Amino acid sequence: MSAAIWVGLFWVLFVAVSHYFHAPIAPRVGQPGRLVDIDQYAPLVPQDAPLYNITVASCAPHIGCSLPRVMDDDAGPWVRVDRPLSGPTARKLGVWNAFDKPWYGRFVFYRRAIRPDTVRIVDVRATTVQQKPEGPGWQRLHEVLLPHRAHHAAVYLYVRTAPASAPDMGVTELSVHYGHHTPLPGFEFAGTITAAYRLHSQKVKVSLLLRRGPGVQVSRPTLRFRPDGTFKILQIADLHFSVLEEPCRDVVDRATCQSHNHTMARIEQWLDAEQPDLVAFTGDQWNGQGSSWDERSTTPIWVEPLIRRKIPWIPVFGNHDSESGFFSRTEQMQFLAQLPYSLAEVGPSALHGTGNFQVPIYAATNDTEAWTLWALDSGANAPFSLWRPWQSALYDWIHEDQIEWLLRTMRAKPVTPHGSHATRPPGLLFVHIPLPEAWDTPDKDGDHEWVVGWRQESAGSIGGQLRRGIFDAVQRAQDAETPGIRVYVHGHMHNNGDCLMRRMDV
């Protein structure tokens, strides 16, 4: 074999092996308002250093994708805006996991100004020469964003700079956005790179986003009961959103239904009518299944109405969330945790799953933890076993170590007065895959069955739904001072909206 083939084979092996053994690297999160990580691309981390220089280059992410390191007194090193300009080609499907990053793509790079007294970029526009921005001071970058093709003109980047003395803080971040919907919080559209990137049989718009100023800075919200002793949670399950709009499911009139717009119109109505204190997303926010494409572009659709109303929210992951997209599950949860009004946390890294966390709800008038909200990751698919190959088709479950962590953390809470007696806070647990107990016979009071709502799906015997564990473990841990989990909330069943009572034998 020739040397070129050996090198090629070695490279393919290296990519495959490094992909499977590579733990996702957490983007470091800086302090708001400080000049941090000027060599990292982290578009939701507040950053007040304006951009100094921008360029466009092609590269292959698998073999590294960076420009020669320069750093001088004026500006930091080149930082790559991590989404390709040519379109959302990333996919994660089974064996294709190794190829989740595009092989080759065109990317925007920038350098941040380090010194406060240097020239900075105050405006950026992606457009064609025919539609170049009006007004003085615009300069066209030599490197093309999208080369000329038969059906479209070349798209360039136009940049306007200002001297250090100008009052304008400047452009502090760029992002590439797929789809026509809401941009990332704090960002605005800075032009269309392509109006119709072909993805399967559909067309996707690819845009450039820019942020002026340091970005949205919202401190982590604190949850508190209302003075009347209530706390209202709105649960939103199984949105299944993608960059490309999915067809509506489970509706009478599929022909006239627009999945994103009609779902969001309904959610806006609920938010206005119910005025919840918290929104809980119980998994499968992203469609996965080869079509989510880019979590960063899709998520603003469903978080924007909450941010606009300043409503705190928590997510848990479903089985589909990490099936396709750019991020690993850890990166997904880090991204969700950085969004405004989010109470998401990646959780202890040693545990099964990502996003095992707790959130206290405090009493109305003092800082006693009155209730605890728990979020556990019920995983995606059951681990593949050589001895039981059929099991890979089943769902994962809440593992022993997650249950132990929950019990340990719950029992470590102080006993405080709650009304007439002293107890630890009772809890409410959010998971995606239903517990098997969701299919148990509800309690009865004479002829009256303690069940409300409707149930159209009854598949209660697949994968995680067979694994009893947490319900019994919590019940065993209960005593007079530890009420345990009082409410278990799940998603996953698209056509069920029921709630049943199971008395725990304390």
Ligand X SMILES: *[C@@H]1O[C@H](CO)[C@@H](O)[C@H](O)[C@H]1NC(C)=O
If the CB atoms of residues 9 and 70 are measured against ligand X, the closer one turns out to be 70
Our CB check for ligand X shows the closer of 240 and 492 to be: 240
Instruction: Report the nearest approach of ligand X to the CB of residue 302 (Å).
Output: 14
Neighbours of 354 (CB within 10 A): 24
CB of 55 to ligand X, least distance (A): 5
Question: Which one, 205 or 432, has the nearer CB to ligand X?
Answer: 205
Which residue has 């073999």 as its token pair?
63
> 369: how many CB neighbours lie within 10 A of its CB?
18
Nearer to ligand X, 142 or 503 (CB): 142
In this structure, what token pair is assigned to residue 389? Answer: 């190959």
Closest CA to 398 of 430, 442, 373, 420: 430
| DSSP 8-state secondary structure symbol assigned to residue 165 | T
- Nearest 5°: the CA angle 411, 412, 413 is 90
- Residue 454: strand pairing partners: 497
Mapped onto helix, strand or coil, the DSSP state of residue 155 is strand
Read off the amino acid at residue 276.
P
The count of residues in the chain is 506
Taking the least distance from each CB to ligand X, the nearer of 48 and 245 is 245
In 11-72, which ranges are E strands?
Answer: 51-59
Nearer Cβ to ligand X (182/358): 182
Report how far residue 37's alpha carbon sits from residue 35's, in angstroms, rounded to the nearest whole number: 7
What is the maximal distance between C-alpha atoms in the chain? 82
Token pair belonging to 75: 């500006």
Backbone angles phi, psi at 316, to 5 degrees: -125, 160
CA 393 to chain CA centroid, nearest Å? 25
Q: How far is the CB of 365 from ligand X (least distance, A)?
A: 5
Q: Distance between CA atoms of 371 and 357, rounded to whole angstroms?
A: 14
Contact 181, 260 (CB under 8 A): yes
Burial profile 211-228: b = 16 or more Cβ within 10 angstroms, e = fewer? bbbbbbeeeebebbbeee
Q: Which is nearer to ligand X, 222 or 258 (CB)?
A: 258
Question: What burial class does residue 64 get, using C-beta atoms within 10 Å of its C-beta: 0-12 exposed, 13-18 middle, 19+ buried?
Answer: exposed
Say how far apart CA 75 and CA 25 lie, in whole Å: 25
3-state SS string for 62-99: HHCCCCCCCCCCCECCCEECCCCCCCCCCCCCHHHHHH
Closer CB to ligand X, residue 55 or residue 89?
Answer: 55
Query: Shortest approach of ligand X to residue 256 CB, angstroms?
Result: 10
Interface residue list for ligand X (CB under 6 A): 53, 55, 245, 258, 261, 363-366, 368, 417-419
Taking the complex as a whole, how short is the minimal distance between the CB of residue 49 and ligand X, in angstroms? 15
Cβ at position 308, least distance to ligand X in Å:
15
From the CB of 124, what's the least distance to ligand X, in Å?
A: 13
With tokens 């149930």, the residue in question is: 455
Calculate the alpha carbon distances from 432 to 47, 346, 392, 488 in Å.
Answer: 35, 16, 18, 10
Quick one: 55 or 328, whose CB is closer to ligand X?
A: 55
Select 223 or 435, whichever has its Cβ closest to ligand X. 223
β-strand partners of 233: 278
Report the distance separating Cα 405 and Cα 350, nearest Å. Answer: 10
With respect to ligand X, which residue has the nearer C-beta, 226 or 388? 226
Nearer to ligand X, 230 or 366 (CB): 366
